[in-house]
Amino acid sequence: MPHTDPVEACSLAIKYLPDIPVWPQLPNRSFLENMYAQYSEDLPGVIIEDERIYIDRSVDLSDGMEKLYVDYIENDLDGHAISRTYAPGFYEFLSRKLDSAVAVKGQVTGPISFGLVVTDQNRRPTLYDETLADAIARHLRLKAAWMEKELAKLSAETIIFLDEPYLASLGSAFVALDNDTVINLTNEALAGLAGLKGMHCCGNTDWSVLMATDIDILNFDAYNYGEALALYPVDLKAFLERGGVLAWGIVPSEEETLPNVTASGLLGRMQSLMDSLVGKGINRDVLLEQCLITPSCGMGSISQPLAEKALQLTAEVSKEFRCLYALNGE
């Protein structure tokens, strides 16, 4: 969210998303809340300076690596907490009473995007170093599991997402990465979680790869790229048959688009996308039942009034959807 006040940001998230509230990341408050810096604490060799984050491989990382792997084996989460300085929105969220929430949601940057953005001192992506890539996935696994443990104090049902914007480059000439590596690193980062596991990719990608991972929820930008999911009917059917949930990012999060959309118009757009999937052999009832409604992406780069409008639209589309299909709030 674009806010710098964690109290205000939490209040808005809880107001408009009371069923599944989410703790807000506030990148405009500090570079430490950049989605890569925010989860970098205690990663061996990590350096943050001049709004750049990288891993310095010129120093001996063996002690840090040994501690990381011991903590991983022993599932020692306390040494991998996210500190208040890096996530004040998270700690404000933990202070709230959320008795009416069906679940609470948190998020961690996924290992693919983290490994592509966080380079070594020579600006080589750490994802292309097998040792570092494995360490990053296990580091993020500990972060995610620690977050889930804390969120479970608010609700018995938890949802942890991996945010993976760089999966939009999967299969391109710019990202030399095979599908098995994506699946294995993703599953490693998710493996410490007991609750629901999700993934968000805000661009277009090879959705079959994402649906082959261990996620329970696939969150996609339905406003801009909704038609692409219909290209993978076999994979989508298998994902839904194992209980997978589609989180439809039908509410746009772009500054220039938000002023021109309405809840009814967005719902109509979503219905058309569902119709196209039904035309590919996907069961409509399953789509309706295994469904969440979300903004298309994060809102940190837009104005505060428009971020609030996006949250309000999300709530309105959800309400209209439930009324239309007589879901009685379920």
- CATH of the domain spanning 6-324, picked from 3.20.20.210, 3.40.50.1370, 1.10.20.60, 3.50.4.10: 3.20.20.210
- pLDDT for 327 beyond 80: no
pLDDT tens-digit series, residues 293-325: 999 999 999 999 999 999 999 999 999 999 999
Q: What is the pLDDT of residue 173?
A: 65
Determine how β-strand 52-55 pairs with β-strand 46-49: antiparallel
Burial of 312 from C-beta contacts in 10 A (0-12 / 13-18 / 19+): middle
Taking the C-alpha atoms of residue 270 and residue 307, their distance in angstroms, rounded to an integer, is 20
User: What's the mean pLDDT in 39-51?
Assistant: 96
Q: How confident is the model at residue 44 (pLDDT cuts 50, 70, 90)?
A: very high
Q: What is the pLDDT of residue 35?
A: 97
pLDDT tens-digit series, residues 183-231: 999 999 999 999 999 999 988 999 999 999 999 999 999 999 999 999 9
User: What's the mean pLDDT in 50-74?
Assistant: 96
> What is the chain's mean pLDDT, rounded?
95
Please state, as a whole number, how many other Cβ atoms lie within 10 Å of the Cβ of residue 2. 20
- pLDDT for 174 beyond 80: no
Taking the C-alpha atoms of residue 247 and residue 29, their distance in angstroms, rounded to an integer, is 28
Proportion of the chain in helix, strand, coil states, percent, rounded to 5: 50, 15, 40
Residue with tokens 């690193």: 185
Per domain, the residue ranges of the chain are 6-324
The pTM (predicted TM-score) of the whole model is 0.95
